[in-house]
Structure 1
Amino acid sequence: MRLYVGGLPYRTTEQELVDLFSQSGEVTQASVIMDRETGRSKGFGFVELNNDQDAQSAIQQLNGSLLGNRTITVSEARERQAAGSRGFQSRDRYSNTNDYYRSDRY
């Protein structure tokens, strides 16, 4: 199961995440998300544990705990939305389904 880890101190390394979450089970992957332009941590990351029971245990043990001087948030990661699918309706008047632009009217 993949977990979201928010509120990370900006100096947190992937190895520190592995060490922290290994207390709950076998970590298969850990990543700290970095800003493309600055190369600095964005303060969140993801950890993948080998099984769901270990992941749930990590959530219970680590959510709200301190890492460095910051309180971290640990939860089940959600699937990433595809670009442009944020629930906004298109403003392009030609893409809607009204009858005004339908060619079979003329």
Structure 2
Amino acid sequence: MSIYVGNLSYQVREEDLREVFAEYGTVKKVQLPTDRDTGRVRGFAFVEMQSDEEEERAIEALDGAEWMGRDLKVNKARPRPERNSQRSYSSGGGNWGNSGRNNRRY
């Protein structure tokens, strides 16, 4: 199981999260996603702890708590939906410019 932590300050660091969650048990992993273009923290994170009991304690204690000027949203992370690696393109809907008319070049 993993914990979703939302509404984070943009100044938060991985070490900050480890320190806060360590009060409730052993932190195994912290993921703090950043924006690809800016490198800025995206405002949420995922924390994995040693046991489900530790995660439950952290969720109960930290959900709604104010930290770094923000009210945290802390809950069980939902599984990531699987992405289809092959895109499906519809074959219907016309010839898309192969009809001989309106074949403009730009």
TM superposition score category, shorter chain reference: 0.7 to 0.9
Flag the structure with higher strand content. Answer: 1
Moved over 4 A (4+): none
- Equivalent position amino acid for 1:92 in 2: S
3-state DSSP of counterpart to 1:58: helix
- Residues paired across the two proteins, number: 90
Alignment of 1:4-23 (within 5 A): 4-23=4-23
Give me the TM-score of the superposition, normalised by structure 2: 0.78
The aligned residue for residue 92 of structure 1 is 90
The aligned residue for residue 79 of structure 2 is 79
- The one-character-per-residue Cα deviations of 1:81-100 (angstroms, maximum 9, x if unpaired) are 1225xxxxx77256xxxxxx
Give me the TM-score of the superposition, normalised by structure 1: 0.78
Q: Which has the larger radius of gyration?
A: 2
Aligned CA RMSD, in angstroms, stands at: 1.7
The aligned residue for residue 48 of structure 2 is 48
- Asked if 1:68 is matched to 2:68, the reply is yes
The aligned residue for residue 87 of structure 1 is none
Q: Indicate the percent of aligned positions where both proteins have the same amino acid.
A: 36
3-state DSSP of counterpart to 2:33: strand
3-state DSSP of counterpart to 2:55: helix
CA distance in 2, matches of 1:76, 1:93: 40
